[in-house]
Structure formats: structure tokens, C-alpha cells
Amino acid sequence: LSATTQHRATRVEALRRASGQGTIVVSPSLAKANLCCLGEEVKAVVDAGAEWLHLSVQDGRMVPKISFGTPLVAAVRKVVPEEIILDVKLSVVEPEHRLRDFVEAGADILSVHPEATLQLPAVINAIDAAGCATGAVLNPGTSVSTIEPILDRLDVIVVMLVNPGWGGPKYLETALDKIKTLRALCAKRGLHPWIEVDGGISSKNAPALLQAGANALVAGGSVFTADDKRAAIGALKGGTAPPRVPA
Ligand SMILES: O=C(CO)[C@@H](O)[C@H](O)COP(=O)(O)O
């Protein structure tokens, strides 16, 4: 295995081990960083305790905006410490055609929208086969039943509080219901994926989301606009961690 592949295998293995152990991670969303000094912004949040970095890749079709692609992912991979997880959300149509590029760019988690492909199980299998952690994104209007058939193959489930790329209202209650439903379903099957919440996450709504069973917090504005990023990350984590799952 190349060093790159080995390093990713180590990160993904650590990610899978840590899920369900009561760990809470914060994944600052680079969409809200100052892209003119991205290297400094990334260093600041990593130094402030971020374990993951969230990269929302948007193609202007799956969501109305176009954000960035593999060059930015590869650039970030080059400058972050080896243990930092690149949490890539592919808000793109037909992600099956993009996987290899993002694997080679250095993604560790690849999350896709169920609506974006006609071949969701195959896409999830391909992400896993490439050595990445698998993820599925539930927009506010996407039900848990959409991913139930592949639930046992998901490392990460992203529960959106907003419709990505649109901003607009935050669907907190919908997200809380989904998280509780997911945790109950996973408990029945002995599964403990990361449940990541994304869209307007702050120290105000994080406690309820963590209490419901979320354990990964995407945070854009709440971290990148903070003068004290370490305090901002600590405030997000201040909620109650989900119950430990017996090993
Ligand atoms: O993908 C998206 C937006 O489409 C999110 O990841 C946001 O970038 C999160 O930023 P905040 O809502 O936390 O400021």
C-alpha cells in the first residue's frame, strides 16, 4: 500500500473505532472559511481542536451553488496533520463518476445524497472499496427510510438542518426526530455510525442535537467567525455526549 493509502486506512480505522464511544467531534465547514487565506484558516481551527474538516463540494445541480472541487481538497490534505479527517460531502449528481478523483485528492469520508444516484448501494460499496469511510446525506425532506436498506454499510449519516446551498429555514425539530429514529434503528441492529448534523449548528442548538444522539457537529459560521476558535469549539462540545455503546 502507498503511504497515502496507508495513512488513510489508519485514519478511517480510528474513525470507525471512535464512533459509539461517546466521542464528540467538530468538523468546521471550509465553505465559511476565508478562502483567500485558507491555509491559515485551516491551521487555526486544527490548532483550536478540530478533529475533522468539512468540505462541502457543490456542483450547482444537486444544490444551486458551485463551491470547489478536488484541487482544494488536495491542497488542504497537503497542509493538515496526518490524523485530521477530511470529511467530504459530495453534493453532486451522479457521484459515482467523481469518487476516484476525491479519493486521490485525499478525502477520508465521502458522503453522498441518496437522490443523486440511481445506484446508491453500489456507490456506497465503491466508497468502502476505495478505503474511505462511507456517508449518506439526509436533506430536511429526505426520510430515514431512504437509507434503511444500506444502514449497516454507513459509517456516517449527515442530517442536514438546512437545504444545502439554499440557506433558508433551519429544520431543527425534523433533525431531532430523524436522529432519534436513526439511533433507535441502529441500536436494534447493533450499529453505531457517526450521526453528523450540518447547517446553522451553534452552541444554542448543539446540546439538544447531542442529547438526541448526534456526535459530529459541522460548524461553519459558529467557528470561523469566532475570535477564540478553541472556545467556540469547546462551547459546541459542551453538550451531553451520546450514551456510550458497549464495545
Ligand atoms: O454545506 C453546507 C452549506 O450548504 C454547510 O456545511 C455549511 O457550510 C455550514 O455552515 P454553517 O451553517 O454552520 O455556518
* Contact 183 CB / ligand 1 (< 6 Å): no
Check residue 246 and give its pLDDT. Answer: 57
The percentage of the chain sitting over the pLDDT mark of 70, rounded to a whole number, equals 96
Check residue 239 and give its pLDDT. Answer: 55
* Contact 26 CB / ligand 1 (< 6 Å): no
* Contact 192 CB / ligand 1 (< 6 Å): no
For residue 149, report the phi and psi dihedrals to the nearest 5 degrees: -65, -20
- Per-residue burial over 171-193, b if 16 or more Cβ lie within 10 Å, else e, is bbebbbebbebbbeebeeeebbb
Average confidence score pLDDT of the chain: 95
- At residue 245 the predicted structure's pLDDT band, cuts being 50, 70 and 90, is low
As for the ipTM of the complex, it is: 0.96
- At residue 20 the predicted structure's pLDDT band, cuts being 50, 70 and 90, is confident
DSSP lists the bridge partners of residue 135 as: 111, 156
Task: Evaluate if residue 22 carries a pLDDT over 80.
Answer: yes
- Among 72, 87, 218, 229, the mutation site with the greatest number of ligand 1 atoms within 8 A of its Cβ is 218
Residues in the chain: 247
- At residue 241 the predicted structure's pLDDT band, cuts being 50, 70 and 90, is very low
pLDDT tens sequence across 59-84: 999 999 999 999 999 999 999 999 99
Which residue has the least CA distance to atom 2 on ligand 1?
164
Terminus-to-terminus CA distance in the chain, angstroms?
Answer: 29
* Contact 164 CB / ligand 1 (< 6 Å): yes
Check residue 168 and give its pLDDT. Answer: 85
* Contact 31 CB / ligand 1 (< 6 Å): yes
Task: Evaluate if residue 244 carries a pLDDT over 70.
Answer: no
pLDDT tens sequence across 189-215: 999 999 999 999 999 999 999 999 999
pLDDT tens sequence across 214-232: 999 999 999 999 999 999 9
